[in-house]
Structure 1
Amino acid sequence: MLKDFSIQALFMGILTTFVGFASSFAVVLHGLQSVGATDAQAASGLMALSIALGLCAIVLSTATRLPISIAWSTPGGALLASTGVVEGGFNAAVGAFLICALLIVIAGLFKPLGRAVAAIPAPLANAMLAGVLIGLCFAPVRAIGFNPLLGLPIVLAWIFVGAFKRLWAVPAALAAFVLVVAFGVDIPDGALGSLEQALRPPVEFVMPVFNLPAFVSIALPLFIVTMASQNIPGIAVLKVNGFEPKPGPLFSVTGLFSILAAPFGGHAVNLAAITAAMCAGQDAHPDPARRYWAVLVSGISYVILGLLAGAVTTFVALAPPILIQAVAGLALVGAFSGSAMAAFQAPESREAAAITFLVTASGVSFAGISGAFWGLLAGGLMLALSRFVQAAKK
């Protein structure tokens, strides 16, 4: 393995970690807090996810010698943000995280379940994801309305840097957020002292609670979003770059590491979709057989960042929540536009996709169950009815 190491892979691994962490940790924090996590529990969840995905990446890449990048479920974090607190609070959310992780393990081991997830019509899955994301994508505009002096620098940094280098747009917005907090927000006395105390790993065990509303509102949608938006595209990215791993075992291993992260507040780890291209492509190394080192470096870097999650969360808590929501919303603009375009591309499923999107985006819950589930159900029924009518006409 040491013979395969290269400086090129080292830099790409560090860059992948920075981009992945900086671009979406705000989504994770906001999502966990939205389903009832305290600041300490959200910090613990961020730590658990970072360490779990880092170790998972190290294990899989070492075992297969393939650049199998791992990430936390960013769409899953956005789903949590749109779901809100369910019956049983954060303990019930953690129970749902465990069930979701178990379903991912089963999907890897039991091929019919994996095929069933893959069989969910892509327009409906994308419409549900777009409906989940749109609420958070409004946050940058709301931040400007809240305080232009605080919100506008974050948005402008994203716009101007993104015009030249899209990869650096969200890290630039995060840097602007740090400067806004440092120079534009009144920091209470003693806050910096608490920041120093937060350098200790923020371990918070959460006793899971299992109930039906959390299962339907969180576990099932989180499973579908994670599989359809992360795991399946992650396999596609590897195949595009010439790698042919067996999907089932990879899914199951990510599910096992998700099980380990869940009791400490982590919602899900999975195959990376966006950053996977960075480690699997030629920028990691001209020789495909040596690119796995980029993932190994990235995994080690994620573990280190996970140990600093308490300091990250404490610093974020110094600012008005709408500002970090703005960073999270900017991080999801690309995902929203991509999912919306894919949802409404096919004319024959456009109406069903629209229903899925609208019901999900409404944020309305029925019987304690969130709109994401009802949106997918309503769109599925509409699509089935449309296909039945078309078949009857023939």
Structure 2
Amino acid sequence: MLRFFSPSFISTGFVAVLVGYAGAGAIIFQAANAAGASPAQISSWLWALGVGMGVSSACLTLWYRQPILIAWSTPGAALLVTSLPGLPMSDAIGAFLFSSFLLTLCGVTGWFEKIMNVVPQSLAAALLAAVLLRFGLDAFVALEADFSLVGLMLVVYLLTKQLLPRYVIPLTFLSGIAVAALQGSLVGISLDFTFTTPVFVMPSFDLATLIGVGIPLFVVTMASQNVPGLAALRTHGYQAPASPLIAWSGATGLALGPFGGFAFNLAAITAAMCMGKEVHPDPEKRYPAVLWASIFYTLAGVFGAALTGLFIAFPAALIMAIAGLALLSTIANSLEVALRTDSERDAAILTFAVAASGVTLLSIGAPFWGLVVGMAAYLFKRRFSTSG
């Protein structure tokens, strides 16, 4: 029980939630506004997303004793910003439910797991490294924005990495908060501890909306979120079956869609933060970090205004730095796994390059296309080798 309250678990869980809200929270507000949501409905969206992520992450993590983090679909939210204007809220909710139904169907039937079982581990690791690369680079891009803050955090990171590796992230994070406080950068903190009231919206199902919004939301959630999310688990050696995870996230969306929970999926970036060696040397004992993340997610839903205000009060440079530094070891490990096998190296580096490029085709993000190109190269080389 005392180990559950380890600073590394608490800080890692908090940082994962902080990065999630600070990195994509604004997009959620934009998506809700695009749907014409009232202030009460926007609060309901935050409630549904926070509680959905918190409860589902805790349940799956406790069931499998593995760090399984559920998140909202960030590319899905970005899609909604451009897709929802002019649509009735009830039609938007119907599209959310349709997308979640398709996610549940993929999980229940096992289609997603069958597809992912064909993907070599090297390609999955390359995909994960590409998804995380931008965050690792941003840690040093932040030096340009605030050299003293990020520079001190980097020094603390390097020292504690050698002296106190178990506490490298919490100590680095605390040093950043201390410097930000001394600089006067922690301003505008709003702590309004009012319970969020969920608002139910009766869904309606318009065929054009289901096709134009529901199906694209399903595709980008599967391709851009669940694929790298499963890659994060597999790269770190966690073998929880994919189908129940996808089915659970889809069912969560079915339950909370009428309240604004538009899409739930496996987390990749924030989940990887909870899987690194800094959390705990033993991979089997890292899952409490996700339990703390689930607590913070649930609190962010129940006390949406207060927690969101706290998260957005941190300077952007602080968030970029701690997110990137927390992911460096995962990026290094993923690249090592990706390039380990000579026969799969070409396919892996193609996967990495395309996925890291940020290219978007047919409204589908780079991680999906990286996997497509990498699998094509992998299968072509196998076919050529067999023919030879």
TM beyond 0.5 = yes
Distance in 2 (alpha carbons) for counterparts of 1:55 and 1:275: 19
Q: What's the counterpart of residue 28 of structure 1? A: 20
Structure-to-structure mapping, 1:105-144, within 5 angstroms: 105-144=104-143
Q: Which of 248, 266, 271 pairs up with 1:253?
A: 248
Partner of 2:355: 360
Cα deviation, residue 335, structure 1 = 2.1
Aligned-residue sequence identity (percent) comes to: 22
Number of the residue aligned with 2:153: 154
Contact 2:107 2:242 in 1 (8 A): yes
1:252, CA displacement in angstroms? Answer: 3.0
* CA deviation after TM superposition for structure 1 residue 387, in Å: 1.4
* Maintained 8 Å contact 1:69/1:295: yes
Contact 2:299 2:307 in 1 (8 A): no
The answer as to 2:387 corresponding to 1:392 is: yes
Counterpart selection for 2:265 from 264, 268, 273: 268
Match of 1:383 in 2: 378
Question: What per-residue deviation string (whole Å, max 9, x for no partner) do you get for residues 180-221 of structure 1?
Answer: 332214566xx24xx123x33567879997166555444322
Structure 1 counterpart of 2:340, which letter? Answer: Q
Supply the RMSD in Å over aligned alpha carbons. 4.6
Give 3-state SS (helix, strand or coil) of 2:69's partner. Answer: strand
Deviation (angstroms), 1:366: 2.9
Distance in 2 of aligned mates of 1:97 and 1:56 = 18
Query: Which of 179-188 and 336-345 deviates more?
Result: 179-188
1:334 maps to which of 329, 332, 336: 329
More off after superposition, 337-346 vs 210-219? 210-219
**Matched-pair contact (CA < 8 Å) for 2:107–2:247:** yes
In the alignment, the residues of structure 1 paired with residue 105 and residue 156 of structure 2 have an alpha-carbon distance, to the nearest angstrom, of 43
Q: Distance in 1 between matches of 2:160 and 2:46?
A: 27
State the alpha-carbon separation in 2 of the partners of residues 176 and 131 from structure 1: 28
1:21 partner letter: G
Q: Tell me how far apart the structure 2 counterparts of residues 167 and 31 of structure 1 sit (CA, whole Å).
A: 26
Cα distance in 1 for residues equivalent to 2:370 and 2:284: 40
CA distance in 2, matches of 1:103, 1:233: 28
Task: Give the equivalent residue in structure 1 for 2:52.
Answer: 52
Does the Cα contact within 8 Å between 2:95 and 2:213 map onto a contact in 1?
yes
| Aligned: 1:223 with 2:226 | yes
Q: Shift in Å at residue 136 of structure 1? A: 1.4
1:146 deviation in Å? 1.5
State the distance in 1 between where 2:174 and 2:334 align: 27
| d(CA) in 2 for partners of 1:204, 1:316 | 21
Between stretches 312-321 and 349-358, larger displacement belongs to 312-321
Of 31-40 and 104-113, more deviation after overlay is shown by 31-40
AA matched with 2:194? R
CA spacing shift, 1:337–1:224, aligned 2, 3 Å: same
State how far apart, in whole Å, the 2-side matches of 1:231 and 1:260 are. 28
Instruction: Tell me the number of residue pairs that the alignment of Structure 1 and Structure 2 aligns.
Output: 358
Q: 5+ unaligned residues in a row in structure 1: which ranges?
A: 1-8, 239-245, 285-291
TM-score (norm 2): 0.71
Q: Which residue of 1 aligns with 2:39?
A: none
The match for 2:213 among 176, 197, 210 is 210
Residue 37 of structure 2 is matched in structure 1 by none
- SS of the residue corresponding to residue 361 of structure 2 reads coil
Unaligned runs of 5+ in 2: 34-41, 86-91, 204-208
TM-score (norm 1): 0.70
Q: Which residue of 2 aligns with 1:289?
A: none
Shift of 1:258: 5.0
Greater CA drift, 319-328 or 96-105 = 96-105
**CA distance, structure 1, for counterparts of residue 289 and residue 129 of structure 2:** 31
**How much has 1:346 moved relative to structure 2?**
0.9
Q: 1 CA distance for matches of 2:237 and 2:51?
A: 20
Q: Summarize the Cα distance change of 1:48–1:332 in structure 2 as closer, same or farther, 3 Å threshold.
A: farther
SS of the residue 1:268 aligns to: strand
Q: CA deviation at 1:254?
A: 4.3
Report the counterpart of residue 71 of structure 1 in structure 2: 69
Shift of 1:348: 0.8
**Alpha carbons of structure 1 residues 140 and 98: separation in structure 2 relative to 1, 3 Å:** farther
Partner of 2:206: none
Q: Corresponding residue for 1:242?
A: none
